[in-house]
A and B are shown apart, each in its own frame.
Chain A
Amino acid sequence: MSQRIGVVQFPGTNCEQDNIDTIKNLGGDAEILWHGSDTIGSVDAIVIPGGFAHGDYLRCGAIARFSPIMTAISRFAKSGGVVLGICNGFQILTETGLLPGALQKNVGLKFLCQMESLIVDSTSSAIGRWFKSGEKLQIPINHFEGNYVCSPEVMSELEAYGQIFLRYESNPNGSIGSIAGISNKEGNIIGMMPHPERATSDLLGSIDGNRILRGLLEGNVKNNS
């Protein structure tokens, strides 16, 4: 049975349709979860896509965390549901406290939209388990606030629990440890700044993003139904 993915839409989100198209091309099913809803219905996994939720006003993700859907997503995630935050989605997950650390402005103080070479680090997350450690992936970034920061204590936990999923080969934004994507300790909540849905066709220059989103369709780490 095909997996049904909920794709969250806040006012200002703009990558929702790109994720839905990609998920459908990969054989999955996808539906929009409106930010004002307090339930996620019967989806198997959730994508919080990129964009500028609530205009990114105040601070990226700072207003989005108060949208009713986030309470439902927190509940889903805490019971082991797989949640992938991409770009603005990653920022929202850190603001919500579902992932540690924060994303601040890029070191060059400029927005960056460009292809990046990523290196898979830990393979212990729900998506990471479909990769080999050390593998290289070509996936573009598209952000102003992608510079990952956290305390030294959090950094040693990330390392110790195998929570660092992706690192940049050549750090474009100043992220600590060249971090491009992390997961929670349990491995079911994943956040990444690069956009896997933008690397899904030879016409777009890379197909490496398909494997990330396909990983989402393969189901949960713990209860693979």
Chain B
Amino acid sequence: MSESLQNPSVYRALGLSDEEYNRIEILLGRIPNHLELAMYSVMWSEHCSYKSSKVHLKRLPTEAPWVIVGPGENAGVIDVGDGIAVAIRIESHNHPSAIEPYQGAATGVGGILRDIFTMGARPIAVMDPLRFGPLDDPRSRWIAEGVISGISGYGNSVGVPTVGGEIVFDETYRGNPLVNVLAMGVLPTERLVLGQASGIGNLAVLLGSATGRDGIGGVSVLASAGFDETTDSSDKRPSVQVGDPFEEKRLLEACLELLEAGLAVGIQDLGGAGLTCATSETASRGGAGMDVDITAVSLREVNMEPFEIMTSESQERMLAIVEPCNLAQVLEISARWEVIADVVGKVTGDGQLKIRDGFDGPVIADIPAATLHDDAPEYERPLERPSDWSERQRVDAGLAENSDYESDLLFLLRDPSWIYRQYDHQLFLNTVVGPGDDGTLLRLRDPRTGKETGRGLGMSTDGNHRWCYVDPRMGTKMLVAEAVMNIACVGANPMATVNCLNFGNPEHPVVMWQMSEAVDGMAEACIAFSAPVVGGNVSLYNETNGVDIAPTPVVGVIGMHPSLNKPPPGMGITNDLTVIVLGQVVKKNVEMGGSRWAWDVADCRDGRLPEFDLDQAVKTASFVAGLVQKNSVSAVHDVGEGGLAVTLAEMAIRGVTGMIIDGLGDHRLLFNETGGRVVIGVETEKVNDLLKEANDAGIPAETLGFSGGMKFRIGEVIDIGIDELTEAWRTELPDALGQGTVSA
């Protein structure tokens, strides 16, 4: 350890600040060598340490009687009854996808799946909330096409269905797309495994791919810095990992087999910060230390430096902690699945992470394992409301009226099926409601026997940068409510939330204010819906040339359908139904701020969000879930982007049936995005009972009109044939992304 590293250029190049470097010297009591410095730099990166967000995340609710594992582990775990637990997690792969769309998205899927099977759960569902720059920008189209192909190529091949997600195109994501990915798995409750290394003398076995030079410093170089025009993004391409779904599939099967046989005391995936993170996290969680033999790691390339081996983010690798007596069996299972298994270390009692050159060879790095996590810096960064906040709030976003409501409506319609038909969304035979509807609904079957439980899991991912830009606190409340309302539409009551907090540069006080406000809004909503946050991810530095993205917290909500004996009615309207909107009361001059109409039609990003009553939304969600569970409605659809007009049009298109709607005479009533509303279609003879039931439950209900014919009519202002409506809805994405390939 002779080399002096007090030259700031060395640690700054690794992404460490002067202050952080000094902290390392104090912790070690000496000058760190290059390897040690590299290990601290990845572990203390924003991506791994949450150093800017930790102070805010503490305000989120994380507990409920059914929560088994909350945030901090590889995935959150909840108890769903019958001895079955569900593991769930969401992550971002934004920066890798901006640079190398296919591999960025593919490795995002691979990484989140490992987080799930690390817990002992078989992953059974993936969801992909995606956000790209505008469709008329060629580079954004290239990114979108690559990301979608990457998810399809990796997800389908690894054998986990992609059952839902979101698609958004907006100027704010032009240089910085958001590629978030959620995964969910089921496990017998007793099989739950945690990422801990315990038992002195136990062995650390590295399973999966050989280690290469791909992805070195991915967390510090890529994920923890923004993009600007001086960095040619192709320079950063070597920091993006390359995925191999076939390797992941064999690794998944091998790991699940050895966990089922009880052959691992702990297991941890290798994601951001690679072997450094996996060894130090397992050791410090287990209150132990670890000796790692750098020479035992199978390599893809010759002459790799120790720091490269310790920080490589090569994909498809896991670290299992195994008792020596079980090693032979672990190696046998690995061999059968053609998975490389190297004994790379052993658990020690001294709390030190020692990297050695040889199994008992000389020590080349010696760090107190816990300091890589527990002593990571925590910043209470300055926060500040935007200086033009009050001014922006005073703007009426509904002023720039365009009187051609028909063209506004046609413009706002979008069928996402061009995307999701590229994803296997049916594998495992659980998908009762797949992508393209409000929420996803999966049959819940016993992971031990495959037997149906007669219950279902509802899931939805939601974000809304427009709402959150206009008002991050209220916007976040509304998007949590939207996710809950989406699963209510498939008959599920909420149980838990996971979040992916996508924001700009945390060194900008306005960004920290946005995050702080969003966290408070999320906390309030998650408490109100009894859906605590069981896990999440923070993605910062989403900026291009110093311009931050609009704040984009994304949530995934999971819930329970207690009596699944019939598919939910879905959004398609059928003939002769009464069309009713449930939820919040909307006043005539409702605010249009943050609506898709204001942003994309009127080109206005200011204004206020419509009034929103969270308690009312809680009651409405529970009421709607009940209606679906009792099979007492014939069609149901959450009111989201584009307001009532788009919601009703989608119901007509999906049901290939017209509607005659009264009222809604202006753009505000047609396109406002007041949260917490659901449209239902009800058979005429059931209407009176239903209205009474709604009234008794304190749910505002308003009859809008009736279904029938092949014309979509709203008062005097809209009169469009279903064919024309369908054409506009169906062709946008294939025309823009698929060179016009509408389904053959």
Contacts and interface: CB of A to CB of B under 8 A. Distances in A.
Most buried by A among B245, B420, B429, B450: B429
B246 A113 contact: no
B159 A52 contact: yes
Given A18-B427, A173-B744, A200-B429, A110 B422 contact: yes
Interface stretch (A64-72, A73-81, A202-210): A202-210
Given A21-B450, A54-B246, A203-B567, A110 B424 contact: no
Interface string A147-188: 000000000000000000000001111100000000000000
Nearest to B441: A203
B384 interface: no
B450 A11 contact: no
A198 B426 contact: yes
A107 interface: yes
Contact of A110 (B443, B566, B741): B741
Contact of B423 (A51, A52, A107, A113): A113
A172 B744 contact: yes
A12 B744 contact: no
Contacts of A22: 429
B246 A111 contact: no
Contact of A204 (B156, B421, B432): B432
A108 B159 contact: no
B546 interface: no
A12 B738 contact: no
A204 B429 contact: yes
A114 B426 CA distance: 9
B237 interface: no
Contacts of A52: 156-157, 159, 245-246, 249
Nearest to A24: B450
Given A111-B421, A113-B156, 6 more contacts: A11-B246, A18-B428, A52-B156, A55-B249, A203-B432, A205-B567
Nearest to A168: B744
Contacts of A117: none
A113 B744 contact: no
A54 to B, nearest CB: 7
Interface in A89-131: 107-108, 110-114
Question: What class of interface size applies to chain B in its complex with A?
Answer: 35 or more
B51 interface: no
A10 B592 CA distance: 56
A55 B564 contact: no
Interface string B552-580: 00000000000010110000000000000
Nearest to A19: B429
Interface string B717-744: 0000000000000000000001001011
A209 to B, nearest CB: 10
A110 B450 CA distance: 32
Nearest to B245: A55
A21 B429 contact: yes
B431 interface: yes
14 contacts: A12-B157, A52-B156, A52-B159, A55-B157, A56-B157, A110-B422, A111-B423, A113-B156, A113-B425, A114-B743, A170-B744, A171-B744, A172-B744, A204-B432
Contact of A108 (B337, B567, B741): B741
A204 B426 contact: yes
Given A55-B245, A108-B738, A173-B744, A142 B422 contact: no
A184 to B, nearest CB: 28
Given A14-B427, A200-B429, A112 B422 contact: yes
Given A14-B159, A54-B246, A55-B245, A201 B424 contact: no
A182 B19 CA distance: 70
B380 interface: no
Given A52-B159, A107-B744, A170-B744, A14 B443 contact: no
A84 interface: no
A195 B744 CA distance: 19
A113 B424 contact: yes
Contacts of A110: 152, 421-422, 738, 741
A22 B428 CA distance: 11
A205 B430 CA distance: 11
A15 interface: yes
A113 B429 contact: no
Contacts of B422: 110-113
Contacts of A200: 429
A174 B253 CA distance: 35
A76 to B, nearest CB: 24
A200 B428 CA distance: 12
A53 B443 CA distance: 27
B236 interface: no
Contacts of A44: none
Contacts of B428: 17-18
A174 B741 CA distance: 13
B425 to A, nearest CB: 6
Contacts of B566: 202-203
B174 to A, nearest CB: 25
A172 B421 CA distance: 12
B421 A113 contact: yes
Given A12-B157, A54-B246, A113-B423, A18 B744 contact: no
Nearest to A204: B429
B191 interface: no
User: Which of B159, B337, B426 is the most central at the interface, judged by chain A CB atoms within 10 Å of its CB?
Assistant: B426
Contacts of B18: none
B603 interface: no
Interface in B122-167: 152-153, 156-157, 159
Contacts of B152: 110-111
B157 A142 contact: no
B34 interface: no
B134 to A, nearest CB: 22
Interface string A1-26: 00000000001101101100110000
B246 A142 contact: no
B600 interface: no
Interface in B241-298: 244-246, 249-250, 253
Contacts of A114: 417, 421, 743
B338 interface: yes
A41 to B, nearest CB: 18
| 7 A-B pairs with the lowest CB-CB distances in the bound complex, closest first | A55-B246, A14-B159, A52-B157, A108-B741, A111-B422, A203-B432, A114-B421
A200 B452 CA distance: 14
Contact of A113 (B426, B432, B443): B426
A172 B427 CA distance: 20
Given A142-B424, A170-B744, A202 B567 contact: yes
A15 to B, nearest CB: 7
A140 B157 CA distance: 17
A142 B162 CA distance: 12
Contacts of B567: 202-203, 205
A201 B429 contact: yes
B424 A204 contact: no
A214 B152 CA distance: 31
Contact of A198 (B153, B156, B429, B741): B429
B421 A11 contact: no
Contact of A203 (B249, B250, B443, B738): B443
Nearest to A170: B744
A108 B742 CA distance: 9
Determine which residue in B156, B423, B432 has the highest number of CB atoms from chain A within 10 A of its CB, and name it: B156
A201 B430 CA distance: 10
A25 B450 CA distance: 11
A52 B523 CA distance: 42
A15 B417 CA distance: 23
Nearest to A197: B429
Contacts of A14: 159, 249, 427
A225 B85 CA distance: 44
Nearest to A114: B421
Contacts of B157: 12, 52, 55-56
Contacts of B443: 203
A149 to B, nearest CB: 16
